[in-house]
Amino acid sequence: MHNNTSKMNTLLGSGKILAIQLFFLTTFLLAALTKWSAGVTPAFLQQFGSTWLAGLPGGLPAVYFFLAALETVAVLGFAASFLTGEFLPGKAKPLLKLTLIFSLFVFIVLAFGSRLTAKFDVAAFNLLYFLGALVSYRETVRSEPGERAS
């Protein structure tokens, strides 16, 4: 009986990590693909045109593609974590942990833009994504043998 419970917990733990990987992978993949394929949108230009971001070197297109690059780096991190099998039982998860921490900073950048342009509803969603990444990080650390959440 104990052995079956242990196997079930191991399977559930692997499923949890796999779900974290796939959720953030699809979230960032769709965001990055949309940005790269659509290019700088009129809505983006309108939202940020009157902010100090428009005066940066390269203007708003540079900001837009910087965001696309951040999201692409996150995609690569989550994909690498998945492809190296970090969801497997007993496997260390350095890529997943690093990419989850990186994604926290991506959500900070996105929330900054939302707050800068008074899109407080979008900023609230960025906060939820941030919190989701933070909880996912803690769960990832907890799933590793001998690790403690920091």
What are the tens digits of pLDDT across the range 78-136?
999 999 999 988 899 999 999 999 999 999 999 999 999 999 999 999 999 999 999 99
The single residue listed with the structure tokens 């949108």 is 41
Q: What is the DSSP string of 42-56?
A: HHHHHHHTTSGGGGS
> Rounded distance, CA 141 to CA 135, Å?
10
3-class secondary structure, 118: coil
The pTM assigned to this predicted structure is: 0.89
